[in-house]
Amino acid sequence: MPLSATEIKDVTRTPYRLLSPFTSFYLLLCSSTLVCRVSILLLLLTLHSSLFVLRAHAQSYEELVERGIKAAEVDSLSQAETYFKQALRLMPNDIRNALLYANLAKVQVAQGQPMKAIDTYGLALNIAPLNVPILKARGDLYFELGNYRLAAIDYGNILDVNANHLEALQGCAYIYQQRKDFPKAKEYYERLLHIAPDNYTARLGMAILLQEMGKPQEALTQLATLIDQNPAKAELYSVRAEIEHEGNLPELAIMDLDKAIALEPDNKNMVLTRAYIHKEMKNYRLARHDFERAIELGVPRSQLKQELKECK
């Protein structure tokens, strides 16, 4: 959703008082030469006209922004983009343009133009380089595009401003995990869990990380805590089954997959995983049953032709 009109209102306006042009003219006229009087008159008229134009521009800027926001809210994206760009042309040096550029970038993302949005977020950050919501929006977009290096830079800049920003910590942990920099990933997960010990995503990520680091028992301990807190989460039993299977504990893996499938009976990946473990254990009848079930759930029969043959 675009930022609201209240978020882009001018908070820097300072009230001031001007003398009436007629009063100023009278006071100055009484003490000036003819040439000075003419110059003063022209100056006053120019000042008065300039103030009027500035007020008109400020009003038009706010109206254009408001129209852009309303257009974006009803998915009139092209119209929203037009209004935002008109406002930027009208007042190109206004400090509020940081948030206006951010709104424009969101519209461009919705239009399927992520690279253009990246550039627009850059313009916003040129004005407000430490604005956390804008840094996060660009970091998230980099993340979605698979550019983890630049996403990590934006998340790192967020953490320089707010060391306890949960989503930035989560993003850094995941990125370093994908890079196989496991000690760095573990550091970010630990920081996150210190702040939010019940954070589901962080604890699950830590469990998977520990397994990748060759520490299955520590991973299982993390998962046991998560399952106690979230007994109806099928994915937790599935992840634990994977660790048990890798640890040559197929019976335990089957038990956890039974629990997972009971919670999500139409999850073809879990059904297929259980089928392969049954096959490894030479439980061919149970394996064939699961292979057939996986086919019912959408796995192409041709893909399992050999498995079905071996499980007769």
CATH number at residue 40: 1.25.40.10
| Confidence bin at 150 (pLDDT 50/70/90) | very high
Q: Which of 195, 194, 222, 225 is nearest to 209 (CA)?
A: 222
| 72: CB partners within 8 A, 6+ apart | 1, 2, 80, 103, 106, 107, 110
Asked if the structure places residue 142 within a domain, the reply is no
**What is the Cα 255 distance to its own chain's centre?**
37
Nearest-angstrom CA–CA distance, 100 and 103: 5
What pLDDT does 280 receive? 96
Asked if the structure places residue 282 within a domain, the reply is no
Q: What is the mean pLDDT of residues 145-156?
A: 97
Q: Residue 278 in contact with residue 250, Cβ under 8 Å?
A: no
Nearest-angstrom CA–CA distance, 245 and 241: 6
Q: What is the mean pLDDT of residues 182-204?
A: 96
Could you tell me the residue range of the domain that residue 39 belongs to? 1-9+21-129
What pLDDT does 296 receive? 96
Tens-digit pLDDT profile for residues 237-291: 999 999 999 999 999 999 999 999 999 999 999 999 999 999 999 999 999 999 9
Asked if the structure places residue 65 within a domain, the reply is yes
Asked if the structure places residue 33 within a domain, the reply is yes
Asked if the structure places residue 146 within a domain, the reply is no
Instruction: Tell me: pLDDT of 40 over 70.
Output: no
Q: How many domains does the chain have?
A: 1
Nearest-angstrom CA–CA distance, 279 and 23: 98
What pLDDT does 172 receive? 97
Asked if the structure places residue 107 within a domain, the reply is yes
**Single pTM value for the model:** 0.72
